[in-house]
Amino acid sequence: MKDNSAQIDEIRSLMGSGRLAYVRSFGCQLNVSDGEKIKGLLMQMGFGFTDDEHKADIIILNTCAVRESAEDRVFGIVGSMKKLKEQKPSLIIGVAGCMTAQSHIAEKIKRSYPQVDIVLGTSALSALPGLLLDVLHGRGFSADISEYDDFSQAAVQVRESSFKASVPIMFGCNNFCTYCIVPYVRGRERSRRPEDIISEVRQLAADGYKEIMLLGQNVNSYGNDFGDGEGISFPELIRRINDIEGDFIIRFMSSHPKDASRELIDAIFDCEKAAKHLHLPVQSGSSEVLRRMNRRYTAERYMETVDYIRSRDPDFSLTTDIIVGFPNETEEEFGETLDMIKKVKYDNIYSFIYSKRSGTRAAGFEDAVSDEEKSRRMRRLLEVQREISTEHYKRFVGRTLRVLADGVSRKRPGYLTGKSNEAIIVEFPGNEELIGSFAGVRVTGSMNWAVTGEII
Ligand code: 5AD
Ligand code: SF4
């Protein structure tokens, strides 16, 4: 970790008060969490925040690399910022996040986008004050994509919510699914020390946070990188967090099915604070496609895990990620995915059309399936899932759910929206003052994307 306190003080005195920062995070929740740390550093340097890039003195784009289309979008945004910089030459523009971990991208930014002053790697957040000082001292373009942050310690953060908090428990991924860029841009798995995580959660609980979301690319392999006899497993971490005093719910993502053990499922059932919901990305219902994806489980083994969960609670809520149109996916293989979602009865699926990502193994796979066919399969998948959700949500009618109210309904005036323990969206009439607290809601009706009810 860089000791940047002297640099932070110098920036405070150089920049004075009233300066504004615009930070925009793309992609997954881990990236949003990094964005909160970047904001934490900027706050220490004396910046306030704005959602209007025209008012900003510094702009940081915290980028995602999962899809090449997302990268193109960022280049488009950076391109359009040239004008902003011409209007306000003192404006400082930085690019952070997963895109910067690819050296050809960092070089492209330096070569083709002179309006960018700073490139900041995901494991070098503490370098931000030093990079900013270089720019303020007129030393020009300044980049740091080294890896030296002590990721275990809690950083100062400006959190997006006052009642929902993300807590990364590990960084990186060892799995190398053939379609995925993450292991290349986030490196190998590194787990935070349990005592650092627990003290962060204890503080959040004391501050009144109601939802603690534990984050990692594969939380089930938490602790595997500790030496023998050191550290603890993920199920044990859940149990220890469950023992922390306070009224909060524990969620986590993502769980790799190959590592979703009975110990994990037992911990979810044993711990009263653990949400009764599991996000278990299946990606495909075909064992052959799973093999080509290098997922290291079969459809049958996945179903064994689901069966064990449902043997303990037939109504248990499951959600998943699905990739449609993986290279050379046949109609039969796609049919197996449809069979899988019908059998499992997910409450929700997050589906993606396969997107070729250079740098990954699947980018070299032959693919005879047309884009039209992939879109057709996607529509079919969503259609089938809509029927499943509509039917499956009916099981909640008449039951009382514990719901964390998190906002006002955009569709229905006077209604609040919230998430139940089971991760179901619930809409109910209520006062805005309830936002950020738990309510008991009796479910009176269901739709295909949410249930409705009234506070009891
Ligand atoms: N194409 C389509 N979907 C992808 N995902 C990751 N990489 C790709 C890709 N190249 C999806 C997976 C993962 C989710 C976060 O994003 O379903 O679980
Ligand atoms: Fe990507 Fe697979 Fe790692 Fe998830 S488990 S981040 S899909 S490589």
Q: Are residues 174 and 84 in the same domain?
A: no
Buried b (16+ CB within 10 A) or exposed e, 191-212: bbbbebbbebbeebbeeebbbb
Q: Are residues 384 and 422 in the same domain?
A: no
Residue 1 confidence (pLDDT) = 60
| Four-CA torsion 288, 289, 295, 299, nearest 10 degrees | -60
How many other CB atoms sit within 10 Å of the CB of residue 404? Answer: 22
Give, using CA atoms, the residue closest to atom 2 of ligand 1. Answer: 354
- Residue 314's domain spans which residues? 276-395
Q: Are residues 138 and 9 in the same domain?
A: yes
Domain boundary among 214, 247, 274: 274
Domain boundary among 229, 245, 274: 274
Token readout for 192 is 């935070």
The number of folded domains in the chain is 4
CA distance 369 to 328: 6
Nearest ligand for residue 327 CA: 1
| Ligand 2 atom, smallest distance to 173 CA | 3
Q: Are residues 66 and 188 in the same domain?
A: no
Which H, E and C letters describe 314-347, residue by residue? Answer: CCCEEEEEEEECCCCCCHHHHHHHHHHHHHHCCC
Distance 290 CA to ligand 2 centre (A): 13
CATH classification at residue 20: 3.40.50.12160
Q: Are residues 123 and 230 in the same domain?
A: no
- Residue 217 parent element (H or E): none
**Residue from 29, 69, 180 to probe ligand 1 pocket by mutation (most atoms less than 8 Å from CB):** 180
Strands 400-408 and 415-420: antiparallel
Q: Check: CB of residue 35 under 8 Å from CB of residue 93.
A: no
Encoded amino acid at 230, one letter: E
Q: Which pLDDT tens digits describe the chain residue by residue (456 residues)?
A: 667 899 999 999 988 889 999 999 999 999 999 999 999 999 999 999 999 999 999 999 999 999 999 999 999 999 999 999 999 999 999 999 999 988 889 889 999 999 999 999 998 899 999 999 999 998 888 888 887 777 777 789 999 999 999 999 999 999 999 999 999 999 999 999 999 999 999 999 999 999 999 999 999 999 999 877 778 999 999 999 999 999 999 999 999 999 999 999 999 999 999 999 999 999 999 999 999 999 999 999 999 999 999 999 999 999 999 999 999 999 999 999 999 999 999 999 999 999 999 999 999 999 999 999 999 999 999 999 999 999 999 999 999 999 999 999 998 999 999 999 999 999 999 999 999 999 999 999 999 899 999 999
Which of 289, 70, 39 has its CA nearest to residue 157?
39
Task: Give residue ranges with CB within 6 A of ligand 1.
Answer: 66, 179-180, 281, 283, 321, 323, 352, 354-355, 357
In a domain, 356, yes or no: yes
Distance 180 CA to ligand 2 centre (A): 6
In a domain, 166, yes or no: yes
Give, using CA atoms, the residue closest to atom 7 of ligand 1. Answer: 180
Nearest ligand for residue 171 CA: 2
**Main-chain dihedrals φ then ψ at residue 279, nearest 5 degrees:** -95, 115
Q: Check: CB of residue 298 under 8 Å from CB of residue 287.
A: yes
In a domain, 153, yes or no: no
Helices (H) then strands (E): counts for the chain: 13, 19
Q: Are residues 89 and 170 in the same domain?
A: no
Token readout for 251 is 């969620």
In a domain, 378, yes or no: yes
For 371-417, how does the pLDDT look when each residue is reduced to its tens digit (9 = 90+)?
Answer: 999 999 999 999 999 999 999 999 999 999 999 999 999 989 999 99
Domain boundary among 216, 244, 274: 274
CATH classification at residue 354: 3.30.750.200
Residue 132 class from Cβ within 10 Å (0-12 exposed, 13-18 middle, 19+ buried)?
buried
Token readout for 454 is 């009234």
Q: How many angstroms from the chain centroid is the CA of residue 412?
A: 28
Which of 322, 344, 317, 349 has its CA nearest to residue 333?
322
In a domain, 347, yes or no: yes
In a domain, 29, yes or no: yes
CATH classification at residue 402: 2.40.50.140
Q: Are residues 41 and 131 in the same domain?
A: yes
For 130-165, how does the pLDDT look when each residue is reduced to its tens digit (9 = 90+)?
Answer: 999 999 998 888 888 887 777 777 789 999 999 999
CA distance 306 to 318: 9
**Main-chain dihedrals φ then ψ at residue 400, nearest 5 degrees:** -105, 125
Give, using CA atoms, the residue closest to atom 2 of ligand 2. Answer: 177
CA distance 110 to 144: 12
In a domain, 155, yes or no: no
